[in-house]
Structure 1
């Protein structure tokens, strides 16, 4: 229980991966050697989607389907994305069929826009009114990551007790931690204490 409180006090789930599908994976986190799932109810899924910038104007009472259905669908997608990312990271082939099931639920439409020079172009917009469509958008982000992402820069935090993923988009590509606040400083403090203990003995 102490570990769960510690995670909650640190403000998770965090949006620090610099890629929304990885942030979605990170809704399961390990801190203080305790695993915590931030998605415990349908409302948690809605809250995370809104926090991630995918606005769903719905409440638990307005959701289609029985209570818990959105949660189950979100957790299933999350573990599917995690499995695919891990396989891709290890250079293994993966089966996209499960992800395609979520992708086919996306409702989208073409829209003509103009750029700063007055040039017309067509872009595709996605409706996010329904939770199913919102999860489809997460699935699309995962699909783009798997097909277009540079997996040399897709990593897990180097802290031994952290499982968070991130996309290293820094200029030097030397990012090692999910964030300095969560894990980088913990490593620095641990090394400082170890050095101090060594100097005492």
Structure 2
């Protein structure tokens, strides 16, 4: 078998993204997020902080182990799975915030309901992309391109493309994806 650092990064990102999507799948949490952020998903609140307890316990970080609301690019991270995962998580978070801002229409829905509705949409989009993606060694680019192609609204498709592009995942500035590393079983070294 083989393994790709971005595949490991997708696993880590999916864990962080699942925490975010779980919060916005509950209306009371959406109301709390909107209340704390005053409708600005880029405001520094608990919503974008990932694993607050671990971050504080391990490193004394009060804003969590990782922050989903980041601007990291592929050229700014290592291939370590927790580090590289932040690029995909950050792009996903910014896509969520962009679509929320675009869809927000106080005459139709309050901001909490808008966040709830956008959460359902973006959850479906991500899951479809993951299910249609490669069964092994999926890269950020694989999933990003599928999210772009699966998004029915042109404006939102462009938002998704822009977020992944500025981070070096897709487009002209995309970082060249390395070939997967062959895994060689060295046997059990247990005594």
- Return the structure number with greater strand share: 1
Does the alignment reach a TM-score above 0.5? no
What is the TM-score of this pair, normalised by structure 2? 0.31
- Return the structure number with greater helix share: 2
Larger Rg belongs to: 1
Higher relative contact order (CA 8 A, sep 6+): 2
What is the TM-score of this pair, normalised by structure 1? 0.30
